[in-house]
Amino acid sequence: MGLSRRRCCSCLFVIILVVVVTFAAAITIRKNRHRSEDGPVPESPGHVVKKYAIALGLAVQFFEVGDPEIDHKCWERPETMTEKRPLTQINATFPGTEVAAETAAALASASLVFKNINSTYSNLLLMHAEQLFTFADTYRGSYSLSIPKVQKYYNSTGYGDELLWAASWLYHATNDHSYLKYVTGEKNGLDLANWLNLTTPWFSWDNKLEGTQILLSRLSFFGLERMSNLEGNGLDQHKQRADIFICSLLTDSPTVSNSKTDGGLIWISEWNSLQHPIGSAFLVVLYSDYMRTSRTATLNCDGQVFTPSDIRSFAISQLEYVLGDNPMKMSYLVGYGKNYPNYVHHRGASIPADATTDCKAGFKWLDSTEPNPNVAVGAVVGGPFQNDSYIDSRNNSMQGEPTTYNSAVLVGLLSSLIASSSSVPMSLS
Ligand SMILES: *[C@@H]1O[C@H](CO)[C@@H](O)[C@H](O)[C@H]1NC(C)=O
Ligand SMILES: *[C@@H]1O[C@H](CO)[C@@H](O)[C@H](O)[C@H]1NC(C)=O
Ligand SMILES: *[C@@H]1O[C@H](CO)[C@@H](O)[C@H](O)[C@H]1NC(C)=O
Ligand SMILES: *[C@@H]1O[C@H](CO)[C@@H](O)[C@H](O)[C@H]1NC(C)=O
Ligand SMILES: *[C@@H]1O[C@H](CO)[C@@H](O)[C@H](O)[C@H]1NC(C)=O
Ligand SMILES: *[C@@H]1O[C@H](CO)[C@@H](O)[C@H](O)[C@H]1NC(C)=O
C-alpha cells in the first residue's frame, strides 16, 4: 500500500487492550523477594529512571474512540462533532468472540488489581469476566465476519488467541482449574493455539497468543501449581513457544528472525510499524523478570545463552529507539524530547482550538501545510519504514497516525522499565 487517505479508527477491543496492558504493567512493578538458590538474585525495584518516568507521564494521556464509516467522512474535532455515533452490538446471532473474550481478559486482569483495594468491585469485575468468557466460548464467531464493515479497518485473523488469553487471565484471577484445563487441553488450548499455522506470530491488536504464552510461562517458571500430567504437558508446550518467541527477538540469538531495521528496531509491517517492537519489548521485560524472580540463570537459544540482564537490555534497546535513539533522531512518542512528529495525522491536533469548523470544512486543516497547532501529547505514531526513515506529513496516515493500541503497549513497556531493576510477585491472586 502507498501513502493514502485511509484513516483508521479504534474499536472496542483496542481500548480494552489498553486496560489489560496497563494493569499487567501495574502488576509487574509490584515488589517481591523470595527463594534463595543459585541464579540471579530477585531484585526489588531499583531507582526510578527519570526519563522513562517522564515518557510514561506523557504516554498515559492518549485515548481515542470512533466509528469507522461515519467518522472517516469528516475531519473535525471530537468536541464539536454532531454526527451520529451509533453503537455496534455483538450477540448470540451475530457473535464476536474476539470482543467478548478480550473484554473478559481485561475485566479478569482488572479484578486482580482491585483485589486488595475494593474486594466488592473486584468480585463484580470477575463475575462479569466469567459471564463474558462463557458467552464468547459458547457463541463462537469472528466479530469481523458478523460485522463485515469493520473488515476494511480491523479484520481479525481469528479468535482462538483471545479465548486462550481470556482463560489464562481468568485462571490467574480465580485459580479455578477448569481454566487451566481449558488452556492446556487438546480440545481447546492446543487446538486454538494452532501451533504450526501462525500467520501473525507477533503480539498486536489482532494477536494475543504471544502474550498468552508469556503469561502462562509464569506457571512454568514459578512452579506453584498442582496439576495433572496432561496440564503440565500443555503448559510445557506454551512455555516452549514463549522461549522460541524470546529467542527469535534477541539480536545475538542463532534463531533470531531477520525482521529488523538497520537501526535495530523489530520491523514487521509498513502500517503502524511500532506496535510489534513495542509489544514484543514489553513481553521481553516480563519474561526477564520471571527469570530473575524464579532464579533462572539463563535462556538457551540453540546453544547461545542469555541472562535476564541480556534479555532486559534488548527491551531497553527497543524503547530507546522509540524515544529518539534512531537514525532520524526522532522521538515517536509525541511531546517527548525536542524532536517529535509535528504533522501527526490527528483531527484534534490539526485544527486550531478557536476554529469554527464542521465535518467537511475541517478538511482544510488536514490539507494545511502548517504544523499541527496542538500537540497530541502522549500519542505514539505509526512509526518508521524498514529503512528507518519517517515522512512527517499529515496525509501520511500509514506512518503518522497514532493509535490507542500503540500507546497501551508503550505504557506497559515504560511501566516495566521505569525502575532500573525489578522482579514480579509469584502469585497474583
Ligand atoms: C444482534 O447484533 C446485530 C449486529 O450488530 C444487530 O444487527 C441485531 O439487531 C442484534 N440483535 C438483537 C436482537 O439485538
Ligand atoms: C467498592 O466497590 C463497590 C462496587 O463497585 C462500590 O459500590 C463501592 O462504593 C466501592 N467502595 C469504595 C470504598 O470505593
Ligand atoms: C477479512 O478476513 C476474512 C477471513 O479471513 C476474509 O475472508 C476477508 O476477505 C477479509 N476482508 C478483507 C477486507 O480483507
Ligand atoms: C494448518 O492449516 C492447514 C490448512 O488450513 C490444515 O490442513 C492443518 O491441519 C493445519 N495445521 C494445524 C497444526 O493446525
Ligand atoms: C525508505 O522506504 C520508503 C518505503 O519503502 C521509501 O518510500 C523511501 O524512499 C525510502 N527512503 C530512503 C531514504 O531510501
Ligand atoms: C502529502 O503532503 C505532502 C506535503 O506535506 C505532499 O508533498 C504530498 O504530495 C501529499 N501526498 C498525498 C498523497 O496527498
Rounded average pLDDT over 134-143: 95
pLDDT tens-digit series, residues 257-306: 878 999 999 999 999 999 999 999 999 999 999 999 999 999 999 999 99
The DSSP result for 80-146, as a single string, is G--S--------SSS--HHHHHHHHHHHHHHHHHHTTT-HHHHHHHHHHHHHHHHHHHHS---HHHH
Residues pairing with 301 in the sheet: 304
Q: Is 389 in the pocket of ligand 5 (CB under 6 A)?
A: yes
Cα–Cα distance between 29 and 133 in angstroms, integer?
A: 28
Cα–Cα distance between 3 and 404 in angstroms, integer?
A: 21
Contact by Cβ (8 Å): 190, 126: no
Quick one: which ligand is closest to 393's CA? 6
Q: Which fold has domain 32-86+255-429?
A: Glycosyltransferase (1.50.10)
For residue 282, what pLDDT is reported? 97
pLDDT tens-digit series, residues 73-82: 899 998 888 8
* CA–centroid distance, residue 319 to ligand 5 (Å): 23
Contact by Cβ (8 Å): 152, 72: no
Residue 249 has which C-alpha cell? 527477538
Rounded average pLDDT over 85-92: 85
Rounded average pLDDT over 325-348: 97
Q: Is the dihedral of CA 269, 207, 296, 417 positive or negative?
A: positive
Closest to 218 in 3D by CA, of 315, 292, 310 = 292
Residue list, ligand 1 pocket, CB within 6 Å: 88-89, 91, 93-94, 147
Which residue do the cell numbers 506497559 mark? 412
Q: Is 387 in the pocket of ligand 5 (CB under 6 A)?
A: yes
Between the two ends of the chain, the Cα-to-Cα distance in Å is: 46
Contact by Cβ (8 Å): 43, 422: yes
Q: Whose CA is nearest to atom 1 of ligand 3?
A: 155
Contacts of 306-310 spanning 24+ positions with Cβ under 8 A: 306/250, 306/252, 306/253, 307/40, 308/40, 309/40, 310/250
pLDDT tens-digit series, residues 174-200: 999 999 999 998 776 767 766 545 555
In the structure, what pLDDT confidence band is assigned to residue 44 with cuts at 50, 70 and 90? Answer: confident
Contact by Cβ (8 Å): 245, 306: no
Q: Is 155 in the pocket of ligand 3 (CB under 6 A)?
A: yes
Q: Where are the domains of the chain?
A: 32-86+255-429, 89-146+157-249
> What does the mean pLDDT of the chain come to?
86
Rounded average pLDDT over 412-427: 89
**Ligand 6 atom nearest residue 2's Cα:** 13
For residue 32, what pLDDT is reported? 36
pLDDT at 6 over 50: no
For residue 167, what pLDDT is reported? 96
Rounded average pLDDT over 90-105: 94
In the structure, what pLDDT confidence band is assigned to residue 62 with cuts at 50, 70 and 90? Answer: low
pLDDT tens-digit series, residues 218-256: 999 998 767 888 888 889 989 999 999 999 999 999 999
* CA–centroid distance, residue 372 to ligand 3 (Å): 35
Contact by Cβ (8 Å): 352, 373: yes
For residue 61, what pLDDT is reported? 66
For residue 48, what pLDDT is reported? 82
Contact by Cβ (8 Å): 206, 200: yes
How many DSSP H helices and E strands does the chain contain? 18, 2
For residue 194, what pLDDT is reported? 65
Active-site residue, from 172, 238, 276, 345: 345
Q: Of all residues in the chain, what percent carry a pLDDT higher than 90?
A: 65
47 is catalytic: no
pLDDT at 36 over 50: no
The DSSP result for 176-202, as a single string, is -HHHHHHHHSIIIIIHHHTGGG-S--S
